[in-house]
Structures are given as C-alpha cells and as structure tokens.
C-alpha cells in the first residue's frame, strides 16, 4: 500500500487540495461540514502528509543538530535526555553529531544546517574551528561546554561558584589543608573550577599552597597519580576537592591502597554527581549539575530562537547543588596534617 497523496484525499472528499491542506493545518478556517468530509477521506485513505514535501515547501526541517565534543562522555547522557524531551514535545528531532576533536567533522555538521538538513545547532564542543568565524554560524545555542569569548546564547553553570561551594563545604567541616586535583588547565571549565577553589581558601584567610594543587585530566588515572604524587612529596592534607567524580574515585582507591580511610583520614569531594558518586565506597559528596535541566533549557532556547521569539537573556545560568554523602567528615583531631601510617589492605 503506497502512500496516498493530498490529491487523492481531495478527490475522495470532493474538495480542492487547498481545502484538504487547510483542514489539516487550520481546522478552524473551514466549515464544520467540509471538515467532516475531509477528515473522513483522510481516515479512509490513511493519508499522512509527506513531511519531506511539507518541510521543503516551508523551508524548515524541524531538525536540530546536537554537536558534542565526545559522544561517549557519560556526563552528557542526562543532557541528551533533556534535549530529546523538549525536542519531542515541540515537534523537533535531534541529529546526533560527534565532534571527536576534529575540525573537519565540526565543519561538516555545521554545513548540515547550512544545507538545510537542520534548522539549528546546539553546540557542546567547547570550540569551533578557527576557519569558521562565529558570525557565520547558523542559529546556534551553546550548552555546557563554554566557548571562550563567544557571544552566542549560552546555558551553563557558574563553575567558579560551584567549586567554591565544594571547597567551602570542606572548610566548614574544619579542614584547613585542602588539596585540589584540577582538570586540564587551559580549558575554561577547569580554570574556573581551580579559581573557585582558590577563592574559597582566600575568603577563609588561608594562603593557597601550590603544592596542594595537582594537574589532572578528568580521568581515573590522574586521580590515582595525584595521590601517589602527594605521597611521594610528603604533602599532607585532610581535605581533597576533585574537579570531577572520576578523579575522585581514582583518588579514593589510591588512598585506600595507602591504608588511608575516607572520610576518617581524608575527606573527598567530587564534581558532577555522576553514577560514580553513588557507587563508590564510601558514597561520594559531590557537586550536582542539573544536567537534564541544562539540556531542556538549551533546547527551549533553540525552539524560541527558531520561532523568532526574542530571548529573555543570552546567558542562562543553571544552579548547582552540593550533595553531601559519606566521603566527607570533620578532620580527625588526632592526626592533623601528617600522613597516616601506611597499612595496606592488600595481602
């Protein structure tokens, strides 16, 4: 059974194709009687408008390209959900693009909206190729992965404020020697989180000790490496703030390997509140980003943009929240900043 066209419906209903089109698009602009006739014919033929034709005629696709830095980043999962939800609710579809740190890929996905395969672009890459000036981008919304110096509509969190929140939690528990494992420095997001950590210390009249900062890369291994490095250099601390949960888990494992207990010997705070946070032992105190909300908001901005609505603001800040679990506690008064005795649990 081949698709029936609007023409067939018109014939069957005894009206013109224009009337069929109208009945479907603006049912109120048509007589009760004709509406019945048309709808009846539609039912009989099983007619469904050919979206390709409709879109072609309307010069719109109702597709939006979602271009991410790395499609396999589990952090994005809830954002995917938020974006898809709002897209679905508004009749849009989401085209998945994986940038993979590759300019050519980014360019091709951007071209897809230029070529009218999609109406807009949600960018979660953190960069655009130097060869593509921002002004030449199509309708674009930036989510989460900030692009330095961009003036495009953006939804994200205040990383600096969030890092302060985490550090202040440790401070309020009484910790004074607080270490920090950063993300790759040079990335706006990592820099901001480090700044927030420093700000919190200074606000508490603690002079930041550079020895307490370890340059990580957001991966498990650098969390472990950080602990080993601190140990080798005999750097003592009772609090540890990690710029993401994965490094926090790596750090906790390494601490355990050295016979240190969390939180009795070291309190650990993560960032992102991923599944990691719940499944780690002990469950991790972490900064939660409203990931689904970020996705929803980004898509909402896109919908408004495409509808020609003026944006209330070109910058939307999503709020964060500190989720306190069992990885943080007041410092153990008996052992100040020294390294606890080594006492491996391994055989």
Q: What angle do CA 70, 240, 168 make, to 5 degrees?
A: 100
Q: Which stretch binds DNA (CB under 7 A): 44-52, 120-128, 157-165, 331-339?
A: 44-52
Sign for the pseudo-dihedral over CA of 31, 34, 36, 41: negative
Residue 228 vs residues 190, 194, 255: alpha-carbon distances, Å: 21, 20, 9
CB 139, CB 302: distance < 8 Å: yes
113 neighbors 120 (Cβ within 8 angstroms):
yes
Q: Does 49 bind a copy of itself (CB under 8 A)?
A: yes
Site string for a copy of itself, 202-221 (x = CB under 8 A): ------------------x-
243 binds, among DNA, a copy of itself, none (CB under 5 to 8 A by kind): none
Task: Output 93 or 313, the one with its CB closest to DNA.
Answer: 93
CB 260 within 8 A of CB 345: no
Q: Which does 325 bind (CB under 5 to 8 A by kind): DNA, a copy of itself, none?
A: none
Based on the shown chain and the rule CB under 8 A, indicate whether residue 72 belongs to the binding site for a copy of itself.
yes
State which of residues 40, 43, 44, 53 lies at the interface with DNA (CB under 7 A). 53
From DNA, a copy of itself, none, which one binds at residue 105 (CB under 5 to 8 Å depending on kind)?
a copy of itself
DSSP code of residue 207? -
Q: What is the spatial distance between Cα 104 and Cα 124, in angstroms, rounded to a whole number?
A: 16
Q: Is 117 in the site for DNA (CB under 7 A)?
A: no
- Is 56 or 101 the residue whose CB approaches a copy of itself more closely? 56
15 near DNA, judged by CB under 7 A: yes
Residue 284 in contact with residue 268, Cβ under 8 Å?
yes
Query: Which structure tokens are listed for 186?
Result: 């040079």
Is 50 among the residues that bind DNA (CB under 7 A)? yes
Residue 84 binds a copy of itself (CB under 8 A): yes
d(CA 181, CA 142): 27
**How many residues in the shown chain lie near a copy of itself by CB under 8 A?**
53
Lookup: tokens for 148? 């330095």
DSSP letter assigned to residue 195: H
Strands annotated E in the chain:
63-68, 93-98, 120-124, 140-143, 154-157, 178-182, 213-215, 239-242, 267-272, 285-288, 315-318, 321-323
Q: Does 6 bind DNA (CB under 7 A)?
A: yes
Pair 280, 249: CB distance under 8 Å? yes
Nearer to a copy of itself, 161 or 335 (CB): 335
Find how far residue 101's CA is from the centre of its chain.
17
Considering beta carbons, is residue 30 or 142 the nearer one to DNA? 30
Q: 22 contacts which partner out of DNA, a copy of itself, none, CB within 5 to 8 A by kind?
A: DNA
Where do contacts with DNA occur on this chain (CB under 7 A)?
3, 5-7, 14-19, 21-22, 24-25, 28-31, 33-34, 47, 49-50, 53-54, 56-59
Where do contacts with a copy of itself occur on this chain (CB under 8 A)?
48-53, 55-56, 59, 61, 63, 66, 71-74, 77-78, 80-81, 84-85, 88, 93-98, 105, 108, 111-112, 114-117, 220, 246, 249-250, 252-253, 256, 261, 264, 275-276, 278-279, 281, 345, 347
């Amino acid at each position: 059974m081949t698709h029936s066209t609007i023409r067939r419906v018109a014939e069957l209903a005894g009206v013109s194709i224009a009337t069929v089109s109208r009945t479907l698009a603006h049912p109120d602009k048509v007589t009760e009687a004709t509406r019945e006739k048309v709808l009846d014919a539609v039912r009989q033929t099983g007619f469904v408008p050919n979206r390709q034709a409709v879109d072609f005629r309307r010069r719109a696709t109702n597709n939006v390209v979602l271009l991410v830095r790395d499609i396999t980043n589990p952090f994005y999962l809830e954002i995917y959900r938020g974006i898809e939800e709002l897209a679905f609710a508004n009749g849009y579809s989401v085209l998945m693009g994986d940038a993979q740190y590759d300019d050519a890929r980014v360019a091709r996905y951007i071209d897809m909206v230029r070529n009218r395969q999609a109406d807009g672009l949600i960018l979660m890459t953190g960069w655009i190729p130097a060869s593509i000036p921002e002004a030449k981008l199509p309708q674009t919304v930036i989510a989460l992965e900030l692009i330095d110096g961009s003036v495009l509509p953006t939804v994200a969190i205040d990383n600096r404020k969030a890092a302060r929140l985490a550090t202040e939690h440790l401070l309020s528990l009484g910790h004074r020697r607080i270490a920090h494992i950063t993300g790759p420095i040079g990335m706006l997001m990592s820099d901001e989180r480090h700044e927030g950590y420093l700000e919190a210390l200074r606000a508490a009249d603690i002079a930041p000790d550079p020895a307490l900062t370890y340059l990580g890369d957001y991966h498990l291994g650098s969390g472990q490496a950080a602990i080993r490095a601190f140990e080798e250099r005999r750097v003592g601390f009772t609090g540890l703030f990690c710029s993401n949960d994965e490094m926090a888990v790596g750090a906790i494992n390494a601490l355990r390997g050295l016979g240190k207990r969390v939180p009795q010997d070291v309190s650990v705070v993560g960032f992102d509140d991923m599944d990691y946070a719940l499944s780690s032992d002990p469950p991790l105190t972490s900064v939660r980003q409203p990931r689904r909300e970020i996705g929803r908001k980004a898509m909402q901005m896109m919908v408004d943009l495409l509808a020609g609505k003026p944006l209330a603001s070109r910058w939307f800040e999503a709020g964060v929240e500190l989720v306190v679990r069992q990885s943080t506690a007041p410092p153990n008064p008996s052992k100040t900043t020294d390294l606890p005795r080594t006492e491996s649990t391994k055989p």
